[in-house]
């Protein structure tokens, strides 16, 4: 990693913040942007790419912006468990949201498996000299998003393939756009055919979904003041906790590089573990009651916005053009997989609300959690179905699975075990679906439907 200068960081963040402001204004004023549900961070990223050195060259970004996504992902992972008070067990999870967990896990694992295998065994036949980890960059971008693409790309760059990050960011951008556009199209088709359980017409959506602005009477609190400002500001306190987790992750990673120089450990994965340990220390010291999870989540979400913006703005167009044909081919196959999964697997394995659960996974499989939430909210504007809560519960365990996939995939591929690894992943993915079918049969549907109906009545 190159040396990053403090002044350059400030300039780059200020410039990107200005682009975020412009992007937000565009989102509130331009109807076509609203109807396509394009996030402001993505618009800001495209503005940065267009106005940057590769095109119009009117924005003085430093040469270091390509490093920021890889750093910011540590903040996203580091924010996951600080302030979390959820007590869960595998048993309670499987009893309530087992099908959501298993189908989601299978979709993610299988996407990694298929494209790793394509990258190792198929692409070299048609594209001479292509890196064997090329196939990995599609799931890194699609199911992982810009942060995971940056994280895996940084590991591969350390192992000699410097093009990986730009390719991953390209796949992440294609996936995010295709997931939103394709997801909205699928929702329109589903609503017309009566597949959706709650919304019957996409035009029924609240205006805030389009403009991104919440009316004053509907605005909610950002978080709670958990400490007295005489000692430390609440936001400073929460930001401090996150910085401790991220800082500890970098220190541990530096020590691991000295102890085991042949293995590249991902900082973001270590940051997640550090967040769990820090939360345990806070609980031991009886300070966990003074941490507001909402504030921590907002800080992590802010890091995600800048991560996406910098990720898109730093895409190296010359590298994209160099690999244009395999990128287009792989992206097409990637979308084929995602949409086939939605129409074929989702209706056969979910006990209830298959369309809503499936559309969430579609969004998650082509971008980030925010994409899944956007698409789910279009089908379930008030989150009456309980689908979001189910996936939020299952996500606690899925996040550890993500860490394993993201941590081991690049290492095993670079070591020449990609084919065996992909086959093992396929077996695991198939096992998840088999377990789901056996444990959560359609006979449970009526019971769950009645349970959900009661929940809907309570909400209404």
Question: What is the rounded average pLDDT of the residues 132-157?
Answer: 91
Give the position of tokens 């292509």.
130
Q: What is the pLDDT of residues 155-199, one digit of tens each?
A: 899 888 999 999 999 999 999 889 988 998 999 899 888 898 887
Residue 423 to residues 44, 100, 115, 118, 417: CA-CA distances in angstroms? 39, 23, 11, 12, 10
pLDDT value at 265 more than 90 = no
Question: What is the rounded average pLDDT of the residues 355-360?
Answer: 93
Sequence-ordered list of residues with C-beta below 8 angstroms from that of 241, at least 6 positions apart, any chain:
82, 83, 278, 282, 291, 296
What percentage of the chain exceeds 90 in pLDDT? 51
Which pLDDT band, with edges at 50, 70 and 90, does 3 fall under?
low
Question: What is the rounded average pLDDT of the residues 75-94?
Answer: 73
pLDDT value at 452 more than 50 = no
Mean pLDDT, the chain, rounded, equals 86
Q: Using an 8 Å Cβ cutoff, are 376 and 356 in contact?
A: yes
d(CA 377, CA 183): 12
Residue 21 to residues 13, 18, 31, 61, 200: CA-CA distances in angstroms? 12, 5, 17, 17, 34
Tokens of 251: 């220190």
Q: Where are the domains of the chain?
A: 66-202+230-459
Q: What is the pLDDT of residues 10-29, one digit of tens each?
A: 999 999 999 999 999 999 99
Helices (DSSP H) in 193-316: which residue ranges? Answer: 207-211, 234-259, 267-284, 293-313
pLDDT value at 219 more than 80 = yes
Higher pLDDT, 9 or 5: 9
pLDDT of residue 245: 96
pLDDT value at 373 more than 90 = no
pLDDT value at 450 more than 60 = no
pLDDT of residue 74: 85
CB burial of 131-159 (b: ≥16 within 10 Å; e: otherwise) equals bbbbbbbbbbbbbbbbbbbbbbbbbbbeb
Sign of CA dihedral 446, 450, 451, 452: positive
Q: Using an 8 Å Cβ cutoff, are 373 and 362 in contact?
A: no
């Amino acid at each position: 990693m190159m040396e990053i200068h403090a002044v350059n960081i400030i300039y780059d963040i200020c410039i990107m913040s200005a682009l975020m402001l412009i992007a937000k204004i565009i989102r509130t004023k331009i109807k076509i942007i609203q109807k396509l549900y394009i996030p402001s961070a993505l618009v800001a990223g495209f503005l940065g790419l267009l106005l940057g050195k590769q095109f119009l060259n009117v924005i003085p970004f430093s040469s270091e912006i390509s490093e920021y996504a890889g750093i910011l992902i540590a903040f996203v992972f580091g924010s996951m468990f600080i302030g979390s008070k959820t007590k869960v067990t595998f048993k309670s999870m499987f009893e309530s949201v087992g099908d959501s967990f298993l189908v989601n896990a299978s979709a993610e694992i299988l996407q990694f498996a298929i494209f790793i295998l394509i990258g190792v065994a198929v692409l070299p036949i048609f594209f001479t000299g292509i890196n064997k980890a090329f196939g990995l960059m599609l799931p890194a971008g699609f199911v992982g998003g810009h942060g995971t693409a940056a994280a895996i790309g940084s590991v591969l760059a350390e192992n000699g393939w410097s093009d990986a990050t730009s390719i991953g960011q390209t796949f992440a951008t294609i996936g995010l756009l295709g997931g939103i556009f394709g997801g909205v199209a699928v929702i329109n088709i589903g609503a017309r055919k009566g597949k959706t359980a709650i919304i019957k017409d996409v035009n029924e959506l609240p205006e805030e979904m389009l403009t991104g602005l919440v009316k004053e009477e509907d605005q909610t609190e950002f978080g709670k003041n958990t400490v007295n400002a005489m000692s430390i500001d609440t936001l400073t306190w929460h930001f401090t906790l996150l910085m401790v987790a991220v800082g500890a992750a970098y220190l541990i990673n530096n020590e691991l590089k000295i102890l085991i120089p042949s293995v590249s450990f991902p900082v973001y994965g270590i940051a997640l573990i550090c967040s769990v340990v820090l939360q345990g220390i806070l609980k031991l010291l009886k300070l966990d009651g003074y941490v507001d999870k909402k504030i921590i989540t907002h800080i992590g979400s802010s890091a995600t916005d800048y991560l996406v913006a910098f990720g898109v703005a730093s895409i190296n167009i010359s590298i994209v053009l160099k690999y244009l044909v395999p990128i287009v081919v792989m992206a097409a196959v990637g979308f084929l997989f995602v949409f086939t999964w939605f129409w074929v697997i989702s209706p056969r394995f979910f006990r209830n609300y298959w369309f809503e659960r499936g559309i969430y996974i579609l969004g998650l499989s082509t971008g980030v959690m925010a994409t899944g939430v956007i698409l789910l909210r279009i089908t379930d504007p008030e989150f009456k179905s309980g689908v979001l809560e189910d996936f939020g519960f299952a996500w606690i365990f899925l996040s550890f699975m993500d860490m394993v996939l993201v941590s081991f995939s690049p290492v095993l591929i670079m070591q020449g075990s990609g084919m065996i690894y992909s086959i093992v992943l396929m077996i695991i993915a198939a096992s998840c679906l088999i377990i789901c079918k056996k444990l959560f049969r359609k006979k449970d549907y009526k019971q769950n439907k009645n349970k959900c109906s009661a929940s809907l009545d309570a909400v209404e």
